[in-house]
Amino acid sequence: MALRRDQLEGVFCAMVTPTRADGGVDREGTERLVEYLLDNGVTGLVPVGGTGEYTALTPAARREMTEVTARAAAGRVPVVAGVLSPGYGEAVAAGLDLAAAGADALLVLTPFYATSTQERIREYFRRYAAAVPVPVLLYEIPSRTNVALDPATVEAMVDDGSIVGMKACNTSLSQFVGVMRRVGDQIAVMSGEEPFFATHVAMGATGGILATSNLVPRLWNAVQEAARGGDLRAAMARQGELGAFLDAVFAETNPGPLKAAMGIAGLAVGEALCPLGPPTPAVRARLEDLVPKVMARERALGGAKMRAAAAE
């Protein structure tokens, strides 16, 4: 589909990749996860991003995960596949593969390791958008890449027609203000940081691409509804209900604790792949205490019955 700005709104799930004991993609588990997410108000699916363990998966597994997700979504919501490769050639090859697998758009990370100038990063995205057959969203996450973009660079990308949206994970609010002032009315700027989500939406973000929406999508929808309605105090209060849970989920590298939390809630998706793995006993104990409480809040919002993903 040719995505419009109004199709990049709401809570998009940065999906975990359900895996089998041998590390392969759990196709049935992925189908169940998609149905759980759509039943509970997610408006878009983002497989094989950072939460989806792009860097740990083989190209074949990335394609399989994208294909299963797109088939299960069946056009009900957009599917935006992650491309987290460090350089141009590999990123283009991955993008072509994932588009062929059914992705409606690609979430493309800024090139990293061999870092470059703002102008050359702009050129990278201009060339990339011309090389792939689906729209591109910019993924900026300086905490992982050490690459931060000037708002003027993002504006130049928009002027070039290179991007239709972005996942904003730069924790500088002044940078976010600059991006919104320059391009907020032209592309879909989506928050990628749970602690900043309510604030970003109040400042004009069209929604978010959130890891913990794998488990509590209705809670995040409630935060967005309050923030978009102009009640930032209520949005922050609702977001605050998730504070201790977020601290535990992100106490160790994502998605190890998140996958464990999903298993505790009855949505088994396997363990994080090497070089990650399950959380430490201390973090797991925190999750075992917090997950039932946060899921009670989720169910109180009218969420659909949890579909157990444990293998028969």
Residue 136 CB contacts under 8 Å (≥ 6 apart), including other chains: 105, 106, 108, 125, 128, 129, 162, 163, 164
Catalytic residue among 36, 128, 139, 259: 139
Residue 39 CB contacts under 8 Å (≥ 6 apart), including other chains: 303, 304, 307
| Sheet (strand 80-83) strand order | 44-46, 10-14, 207-210, 188-191, 165-168, 136-140, 105-109, 80-83
- Whether 167 sits among the annotated catalytic residues: the reply is yes
- Could you give the C-alpha distances from 212 to 114, 133, 242, in angstroms and in order? 31, 30, 10
- Torsion angle of the four alpha carbons 78, 245, 218, 14, in this order, in degrees rounded to the nearest 10: 0
Contact assessment for residue 210 and residue 242, using Cβ atoms and an 8 Å cutoff = no
Helix-, strand-, coil-residue percentages of the chain, each rounded to 5: 50, 10, 40
Catalytic residue among 36, 124, 167, 259: 167
Contact assessment for residue 218 and residue 40, using Cβ atoms and an 8 Å cutoff = yes
DSSP 70-92: HHHHTTSS-BEEEE--SSHHHHH
Residue numbers annotated as active site:
139, 167
